[in-house]
Structure 1
Amino acid sequence: MQPRVLKVLEFNKVKDKLATFSASSLGKEKVAQLTPATNYEEVVKRQLQTDEAATVLRLKGEVPLGGITDIRGHVKRAEIGGTLNTHELLDIAGTIYAARKLDRFVESVLDEDISIPILKEYMDQLIIYPELERNIKNCIDEYGEVLDGASDKLRGIRQQLRSTESRVREKLESMIRSSNAQKMLSDAIITIRNERYVIPVKQEYRNSYGGIVHDQSSSGATLFIEPQQVVDLNNVLQEAKVKEKLEIDRILAELSAEVAEVARELLENVHILAEIDFMFAKAKYGKHIRGTKPEINNEKYIRLVQARHPLINEDEVVPNTIELGKDYTSIVITGPNTGGKTVTLKTLGLLTIMAQSGLHVPAQDGSEVGVFNAVYADIGDEQSIEQSLSTFSSHMVNIVDILKKVDHDSLVLFDELGAGTDPQEGAALAISILDEVYQRGACVIATTHYPELKAYGYNREGVVNASVEFDVDTLSPTYRLLIGVPGRSNAFEISKRLGLSMEVIDRAKEFVSEDSNKVENMIASLEASQKRAEEEWREAEKIRKTSQQLHEDLEQQMHELNEQRDKLYEKAAEKAEKMVEDAKEEAEKVIRELRKMRIEQHANVKEHELIDAKKRLEGAVPTVKKSAATKKQEVSNQTLEPGDEVKVMSLNQKGHLVQKTGDKEWQVQIGIMKMKVKTKDIQYVSRPKPVETKPLATIKGKDYHVSIELDLRGERFENALMRVEKYLDDATLAGYHRVSIIHGKGTGALRVGVQNYLKNHRSVKNYRFGEASEGGTGVTVVELK
């Protein structure tokens, strides 16, 4: 794609907006390098990447991409033997942590059975180095200072430093507190000059203290003297500082060597993290413009449904449906200025480039975009004073260049084709240029003023006319694109609306040729027909929706009537059954009496006759078949509980009950979806067996490990307190008597919150800040009961 075309179509502005959704400089760099792909498979792959990221954002809301840093320079320097400083090493540790955090997130997404093959492939290539991250953070604090615990030697050196420094200050403080100090010192303070402790002595008393003069005040009245008594101690202090620096340099060199060992893998990680950041930046931008994934085809066919220009305010932009490349490959848009022709042209070109770049496009679902090897555009007035080119000449320079390169894999956009010269010659040139581009098999959209081109689409196969609608009543364009209808002059109607007399207008009409009048009348008729067709379509759509609603209402009524009928049948059958039961009881009574009579009065009644009579009575009892509604009611009578496996009858899908949301309603989870379903639409399937719970001691047995430290740095306040509560319970169960909570220094809010929580905790016996060797005020040491 030509850079000039990308600029004319304002793709750079789209990229600028896209860059704001990147989480790191790596993602922004990928955005800056973005250009449209011309290979069909590559375009499909890019769209799948963006769509997968959009799916994750829709289901999870956000992706943890914070902490990713461009560490390529640091890693390459370490690879060639350089020693990294503390901040560079922290950047590397932070990027490893970001990769580890992203890896956990992707695992959680996969656990929910969400299909993310592209993201999974990226994460499979990512190599996490938690040990390197841990080594760096164990040696360097969040402010870039090397910790005492980085090595035993450094701890010893710093202890010596603090001890010697304390002795120096003690000696100097005794000097400035002496009885003569007020007279001999300019001020009773201890200060530092040339990294050595000194006191400010008045010029006239310089010999009273001996030692070394390191500096003097601007007036010369005060000398900064290192007294002889502390010279040796200051020397010891300086030697310790040199040792400290050497040890720090050794530690940083050792850490840099660890980075160098995995340099290639870290660089590959950076590349993968950049791709993932870029992938989600595209998805976030698509969400911002309410974009959709277009279907990609290799047939050079474009169908944009209700497409919007992404750089025009959503409240102002007018959506248009644009189709090109199937029934016709050329569109000629005619009509007056400021009607929206150029915007339509730019929308088609920009959305095609966006789609080929892997971006979602601001159009409705069902849109399609073909893959073109090149998009050419001649849009806008590019006259050049330096080159003495007129508007027409500058357009012709572009058009000549386009005609040299255009082929059947090209999309060409001409704005005001043939403008800037004699109308008759300009129209002839425009027709000839359009014919040339059409014969080469390219797809083309052109806008023009020339009335001669209004009939162009009627004379040539594969070409269609179009226009932008103009409302004569309001004297303003509606910006709606009318495919199949050429633009017409509205001069007479506008003049009439503005008050020009009909006499003048009628006289003007006499000067217009009969052919022009016929064309204008034909166009007016086409516009009216299209408007009528659209109104009829809207009316038909309204009727269709009403019919659909009526159909659904009738189905519901029929369902209710069937249920009512079944209930009536059952009620009648129950009544008949009761009547027969009553008759049976009466018959049994009669038979008993007959037997009694036979025995007592020797009546001539045979036993088999009595049995036959009884069988006939039993055969008269109706067998009542229960309706489907009754069976369903029996199922409904089953007591439902959260966790039950059920079947949603209307969807014919199985799921699990989550919770009851009303008297006759449950929340049901089907796959990854949760929905509210009426109780009558639920069929009970099964109930999971209760899980045997084990005592906590059994769950957290000897193999369960609890660390003696809890690191809260970087945590939000609420999450930190939740982790402290769980950690204290685990530590108590593990039998620990003392643990450390690392909250860092920072603003102090987290430290105060943690200690306020510890005050009232049932398991806490006592707590205190850590010693200097334990982390100082950045750590709270807790004693447990």
Structure 2
Amino acid sequence: MNSKTLHTLEFDKIIALLAERAVSAPGKALCHALVPMTDLPEIERAQAETEAALSRIRMKGELRLSGLRDVSASVKRLDVGGTLSTSELYAISTLLDLSERARNYGAHEEAEPDPDALEASFTALSPLPKEKRELKHCILSEELVADTASAELSRIRRQMKTADERMHSALQEEINRHKSYLMDTIVTMRNGSYCLAVKSEYKSKLPGVVHDQSSTGSTVFIEPLVAVRLNNEYRELVIAEQQEITKILAALSALLTPCTAALLANQKILAALDFVFAKARLASSMQASKPLFNTERIVEIKDGRHPLIPRDKVVPISIRIGEDFTLLIITGPNTGGKTVSLKTMGLFTLMGQAGLHIPAFQGSRLAVFRDVFADIGDEQSIEQSLSTFSGHMKNVVEILASADSDALCLFDELGAGTDPTEGAALAIAILSFLQNIGARTVATTHYSELKVYALSTKGVENASCEFDVATLRPTYRLLIGIPGKSNAFAISKKLGLPDYIIEEAKTHIEQNDAAFEDLLTRLEADRRTIEAERKEILAYRTEIEELKTRHEKADQNLDERKERILEKARAEAERILAEAKESADQSIRRINRLSADSGLLRELEKERTGLRERLKAVEKTAPKKEAVKAAKPAVLHIGDSVRVLSMDHDAIVSTLPDKNNRLFVRMGVLRTQVSADDVVLIEEEAASAKGAKRGYSGAAPTFGKASHISPEINLIGKTVDEALGELDKYLDDALLAHLNSVRVIHGRGTGALKKGVLAWLKKQPYVKKFEDAHFDDGGEAVTVVTFR
């Protein structure tokens, strides 16, 4: 990638922002080494890593890698059999500690989605638990070896502590003994020895070694003889301590020697993770998104914000190239945002190809360019005797020599700095050449000739930076497809230039140029009118949608109120029926008990049958759930309540329609197959389904008990009278639930209960037959009753 372009588009400033967000020296080094890539798989891998790190930060918080140091030099010393220092071993201990922390952070949990782009990096870390444990046990800091590193070191340090205490005790005794000779009663250090500050006139009174004297000569610093002997003993212990520490360091170095490859791999992985998480932190701070890459050399930036402009001042821009046109010419007044548009497109391309997210709306597209060229800014050079035009033209020559179809070329004020006619002609020729070789090119200009060139040439498009003449301020909106005006006359008039000068200036403009500028003015006015009308239409459309929604909601509330009233009526009817049936059943059972031995039983049974038929007739006249909507296969769910039209019965959906549009439904214990066109959803079910979980089925009135009543009754342990009373009520419920048959469990026992039940069943007119159950289903202990 062209290094000059990186500087021109301020990519180095983005790198500086990135390096600030790395927490380790190796990670910062990777940040500073980052350059745009040209291999699409590598770019997509880097983008996926940035996205994965951003996702992990949101889900798990930050990955802390501070304290990571470069240990490659120490590893080289291990490879040649060298012994590492305490600080080097502490750095390796920190490296292993961070490796374990990062591995735990990156551990994939079952509740998480599939492994991301960083999963392999976390898995490849080797914390070396045995070696790490030994280092943590022996090395406490960069300068301190633990007392417990070895038994000998622990013994030596205990002796050193004792010797130090003896030293202080001896010196305190000397102070007390010679207090009158001393300048001060404190112990000082001179040349590594403990000394007392003695008045110079009494120096012969204190036997010892003179180490120093004050600048005035009034004080002499003397090490007492007793301290000399004790200090010698202490120094011997210090030497022994150092020798033991050397042995410990050598042993730890030998322990790490077989692990050098793993140490280097861990350092490389942690540095890379620090680098990737720095990219994620930068993306988060910029509110950036992952760009979509393509091989068609299409660039489409949606609401892009230049990352180096303060967030409270930057104005999002949308710019595109490569799909409908390959050359974009941006016109408009100065300070209108033309240069910012150029730099935004170029910088976003560099950032995207470097694996960085871009501060633009989700779904922005970038292409992979082999090279990006930019001629932006003042190229005047006094040292090289170059004018502005010469400086720019030198860059243009270099760009034309290197550009090809895989290049993005950006020109600011192409052809400026010389005669307008010749400058415009050169600019058109340069842009035509770049378009012919297939390069993607964006150029800014003030020349009207280039606006005409864009209007008349296929594959070339005009764009303008909107400018509000009334306020003399740019809006920074980029309008593709519309050429811009320089607005020189309008701006000059607003700034106070006299009208007669402006009118005189207009006479010097050629008629064609004036007509063209007038056309641009009319186009701009029409565009503003159309945009205002579009906003008005959008407001009307929004208002209509709100009114429509409000009316639909009112209709829905009306339907719901109607359904609640009907439901209340149905519930009341069912309650009245249930009470009437229960009252009739109780009366009949009492009469049965009172007249069991009389001749009235047959007459009462006939009356009871007539009463049951009348109840059924009343039940049929009760309010039914209104089926209002034909069921379509796409809206049927298992458990829905439907009405089978051909059978005129309610049912519950058991299966969804098959390829032949047939499904199974359940009517009580009966399961049958019907056509989906033969069923309709019951409105109450459709209404209740809005607030219920899918699969819940409310029962229809006719089959309300079919989903609750058991297909069998257990009478074991009851007397014959008790059993017949319960059996009578149960069979009535089974008939109302439209069960075809039931099982009566009476057991074997003495046979009295079974005999009483069978005798009672023989007298019931609604019983078609009864027989013992199959041997495998209860045999003689169970009677299967089939209804008429």
Give the 3 Å change call, closer, same or farther, for CA 549–133 of structure 1 in structure 2.
farther
Partner of residue 95, structure 1: 95
1:488 is the counterpart of 2:485: yes
Residue identity matched to 1:86? T
CA contact (8 A) 2:45 2:117 kept: no
Query: For the Cα contact (< 8 Å) 1:584–1:618, is it kept in 2?
Result: no
Q: 1:594: how far off?
A: 13
Task: For residue 557 of structure 1, report the CA deviation from its aligned partner.
Answer: 4.7
Correspondence 1:276-355 to 2 at 5 A: 276-355=273-352
Q: In the alignment, is residue 165 of structure 1 matched against residue 164 of structure 2? A: yes
> Is 1:149–2:144 an aligned residue pair?
no
How many angstroms does 1:522 deviate by? 2.2
Shift in CA distance, 70/617, structure 1 to aligned 2, threshold 3 Å: same
CA distance in 2, matches of 1:39, 1:594: 97
- The aligned runs of 1:47-196 (5 Å cut-off) are 47-107=47-107, 110-142=109-141, 144-178=143-177, 181-196=178-193
Task: Identify the residue that residue 698 of structure 1 maps to in structure 2.
Answer: none
Task: Give me the whole-angstrom Cα distance separating, in 1, the residues matched to 2:373 and 2:544.
Answer: 48
How many Å apart are 1:445 and its aligned residue?
0.3
CA–CA separation in structure 2 for the residues paired with 1:509 and 1:350: 40
Kept in 1, the 8 Å contact 2:577–2:619? The answer is yes
CA distance in 1, matches of 2:92, 2:583: 97
CA shift for structure 1 position 129: 2.3
Q: Which residue of 1 aligns with 2:32?
A: 32
After superposition, give the CA deviation of every residue in 1:680-734 in whole Å (9 maximum; x if it has no partner).
Answer: 9574999xxxxxxxxxxxxxxxxxxxxxxxxxxxxxxxxxxxxxxxxxxxxxxxx
Cα distance in 2, alignment partners of residues 681 and 371 from structure 1: 51
> Displacement, 1:105?
2.0
Cα 1:176–1:680 shift into 2, 3 Å: farther
Encode CA deviations 1:186-233: one digit per residue, 9 max, x unaligned.
444444444344444555655655554444444555554444445444
Matched, 1:517 2:514: yes
Contact 2:573 2:623 in 1 (8 A): no
Partners of 2:612 and 2:67 lie apart in 1 by 90
Residues 1:17 and 2:17 aligned together: yes
2:368 to 354, 366, 371: 371
Going from structure 1 to structure 2, the CA distance change for 1:91 and 1:557 (only over 3 Å counts) comes to: farther
Is 1:413 aligned to residue 402 of structure 2?
Answer: no
Cα root mean square deviation, aligned = 3.7
Judge conservation of contact 1:214–1:226 (CA < 8 Å) in 2.
yes
CA positional deviation for 1:348: 0.7
CA distance in 2, matches of 1:199, 1:495: 88
Once residues 327 and 236 of structure 2 are traced to their aligned partners in structure 1, the CA distance between those partners, rounded to angstroms, is 84
User: Which residue in 2 is equivalent to 1:238?
Assistant: 235
SS of residue matched to 2:519: helix
TM-score, normalised by the number of residues in structure 2: 0.73
Runs of 5+ consecutive residues of structure 2 not aligned to the other structure? 628-636, 641-688, 697-788
1:470 pairs, out of 462, 467, 470, with 467
Shift of 1:520: 1.6
Partner of 2:631: none
Letter matched to residue 9 of structure 1: L
Q: Which runs of 5+ in 1 are unaligned?
A: 636-678, 687-785
* Equivalent residues of 1:454, 1:465 under 8 A apart: yes
**Mean alpha-carbon deviation: is it higher for 401-410 or for 256-265?**
256-265
Counterpart-to-counterpart distance in 2, 1:210 and 1:586 = 126
Please tell me whether residue 450 in structure 1 is matched to residue 447 in structure 2: yes
SS of structure 2 residue aligned to 1:303: strand
Against the structure 1 CA distance between its residues 578 and 201, is the aligned structure 2 distance closer, same or farther, given a 3 Å change threshold? closer
Q: Which amino acid aligns with 2:375?
A: D
Normalized against structure 1, the TM-score is what? Answer: 0.73
In structure 2, the CA distance between the partners of 1:15 and 1:537, relative to structure 1 (3 Å rule), is: farther
1:449 Cα deviation after fit:
1.4
> Quick one: structure 1 residues 292 and 569, their matched pair in 2 at CA, closer, same or farther if it must change by over 3 Å?
same
Q: Which amino acid aligns with 1:32?
A: H
Asked if the contact 1:79–1:259 (Cα under 8 Å) also holds between the matched residues in 2, the reply is: no
Cα displacement string for residues 601-647 of structure 1 (whole angstroms, at most 9, x for unaligned residues): 99x9897587356424424313777799xxx9x99xxxxxxxxxxxx
Offset, 1:155: 1.4
Q: What aligned pairs does 1:266-277 form with structure 2 within 5 A after superposition?
A: 266-277=263-274
User: Higher mean Cα deviation, 483-492 or 209-218?
Assistant: 209-218
Larger Rg belongs to: 2
- Bigger shift: 288-297 or 579-588? 579-588
How far the C-alpha of 1:569 sits from its partner, in A, is 2.1
Residues 362-381 of structure 1: CA distance to partner in whole angstroms, max 9, x if unpaired? 11112111111110111111
Give 1:79 shift: 3.5
Secondary structure of residue in 2 paired with 1:352: helix
> For residue 464 of structure 2, what is the amino acid of its counterpart?
S
Over 3 Å counting, the alpha-carbon distance change for 1:382 and 1:232 in structure 2 is same
Query: Match for 1:65: what amino acid?
Result: L
Question: In the TM superposition, what whole-angstrom CA distance separates every residue of 1:453-476 from its partner, at most 9, and x where no partner exists?
Answer: 111112111100111111111122
> 1:513 deviation in Å?
3.1
Identity %: 43
Residue 441 (structure 1) aligned with residue 462 (structure 2): no
Q: Which residue of 1 aligns with 2:359?
A: 362
Distance 2:299 2:57 in 1: 28
Deviations 1:536-577 (A, max 9, x none): 443454455555555655565555444433322222223334
Distance 1:285 1:140 in 2: 36
Name the SS for the 2:288 alignment partner. coil
Following superposition, the deviation at residue 135 of structure 1 comes to 2.3
The alignment covers a number of residue pairs equal to 635
Q: 1:31 Cα deviation (Å)?
A: 1.1
**C-alpha deviation, 1:99, in angstroms:** 2.0
The answer to whether the 8 A contact 2:95-2:266 is kept is no
> Matches of 2:109 and 2:555 in 1, distance apart?
44
In structure 2, distance between residues paired with 1:184 and 1:304? 87
Cα distance in 1 between the residues matched to 2:405 and 2:345: 18
Alignment CA distance shift 1:343-1:251 (3 Å): same
Aligned match for 1:422, one of 415, 419, 424: 419
**How far 1:89 moved relative to its partner?**
2.3
What is the distance in 1 between the residues matched to 2:201 and 2:335? 89
243-252 vs 512-521, which deviates more? 512-521
Report the CA distance between 1:500 and its aligned residue.
Answer: 6.0
Corresponding residue for 1:383?
A: 380
Residue 23 of structure 1, CA deviation: 1.7
Maintained 8 Å contact 1:581/1:621: no
Match of 1:259 in 2: 256
SS in 2 for 1:620: helix
Q: Give deviations 1:395-452, integer Å, cap 9, x for gaps.
A: 1111111111111111000111111111111100000000000000010001111111
Q: Contact 2:446 / 2:486 at 8 angstroms: preserved in 1?
A: no
CA contact under 8 A between 1:329 and 1:444: conserved in structure 2? yes
2:531 pairs, out of 514, 531, 534, with 534
Kept in 2, the 8 Å contact 1:52–1:116? The answer is no
Distance in 1 separating the partners of 2:125 and 2:498: 78
Matched position secondary structure for 1:110: coil
- How far, CA to CA, are the matches of 2:117 and 2:168 in structure 1? 64
